[in-house]
Amino acid sequence: MFGGALRGFNLLLVIAGILVGAVLMQWRWSRAASIRLSITRKLPSELFAGEPFRVEYTVGNHDRWLTFSMLRLEDRAVAVGKGQTNATVTEHSDQRLTLLHSHLSIGKLRRMETQTHSYPFSPLGRGEWAFGPMAVTTTFPLDLMVCHVGNRERETILVYPRLVPLRRGWQHVLARQRGGSHSATHRGGRGEGVFFGLREWRNGDKLRWIHWRTTARMNEPVVCQYDRPRRYDLCLLLDAYWESEAEDDSNVETAISVVATMIMQLTSENSNRVVLAASGKTFVSALSNGAIKNQKHLLQILAKIQPSDSPRLIDAMEDAAKRGKIRNIVVVSPRAQEAAFESIGPASREQLHRWISHGMLRWINVSDQETRIVEAERHV
């Protein structure tokens, strides 16, 4: 009976109607997906090169009736300001390339459901990384067309230099502050030395240092500052020397990593005062006295410094002198001291020799295997 009912219709028109209906159904589903799906990304606030982390994505379905399947999330990350490549990096490929193109299979997303997924990523280079644009694609239900739900917002994260293991006793290359001891007969009642003033809470402060009355008034921790001698009071001078872009930059990157590691260890104690002077294509200096925000500022400088074939070391030292009196200078460089002295003028060379003769300047050449400060990696 059904065949007789269709006898008056053209079979081609029936097939065409079925195909058009399928396309309309696919279009309707895709349009609903483009309206009802949302996607967000979460990045860490800070990160060191070589440390793996997971980029978190949140995908939500805000439709009350439809369930979406065959979902696929795409995102990309590019190192800003460095040599880029068009190669694609996946979970099982070499992530030393500067471009990451991630693909995540989400599968099914039920109505009014939100799912969180993550993707592993380990940037092996310092500097600024830009993430985006990201998108969710689906071919559900009939795989006739691709629906693309995008989020064109770009996010950036600053990757700090890689931290390297230093040899045991590396602190011996640092000149200790001499004669800075302050002895007093009047103590502030807590057995910590002469009371100097109040300051913000820093990592490592003791609970008994808290000034509770001021803390209650300011609604944030405030501690008592006592005038105590600093253990280390020095200037770390980074010689970001790179002969040419055609040469290997591993030595200069090692020098930057050594300075970053020293800063992390020295500024973890409130008793140390460290001035960083970095010289590459530009020179910059900054001071850290134990505050976390100052420590982050120094790491940001190291993350952004660009090597040069003619660093201005003397200008960097003079700029660091504006931060206060400098008693000791430790230079971390990828080249030998003699090679660096040959590239500067006679007056500057004479000043450096004078500092060396007075015991104020020490030179660390990270490329010298005999005196190298970095601990050799152990392969198991």
Contacts 24+ apart (CB under 8 A), 176-184: 176/231, 176/232, 177/229, 177/230, 177/231, 177/232, 177/233, 177/234, 177/327, 177/328, 180/229, 180/230, 180/233, 181/229, 182/227, 182/228, 182/229
Give residue-wise pLDDT tens across range 85-105. Answer: 332 333 333 333 334 556 677
Closest CA to 76 of 99, 49, 104: 99
Give Cα separations from 185 to 181, 188, 189, 193, 226 (angstroms).
13, 10, 12, 9, 14
- Tokens (6 digits) for 319: 């700029």
What pLDDT is recorded for position 89?
A: 32
What pLDDT is recorded for position 7?
A: 60
Q: How far, in Å, CA of 363 to CA of 374, rounded? A: 14
Phi, psi torsion values for 25, nearest 5 degrees: -65, -45
Q: Rounding to the nearest 10 degrees, give the CA dihedral for residues 322, 324, 325, 329.
A: -80
What pLDDT is recorded for position 179?
A: 38
- Tokens (6 digits) for 27: 């279009």
In which residue ranges of the chain is pLDDT below 50? Answer: 1, 82-99, 176-190, 229, 378-380
Closest CA to 98 of 75, 125, 74, 121: 125
Domains and CATH numbers, the chain: 36-160 (2.60.40.10), 170-180+231-365 (3.40.50.410), 194-227 (no CATH)
What pLDDT is recorded for position 185?
A: 33
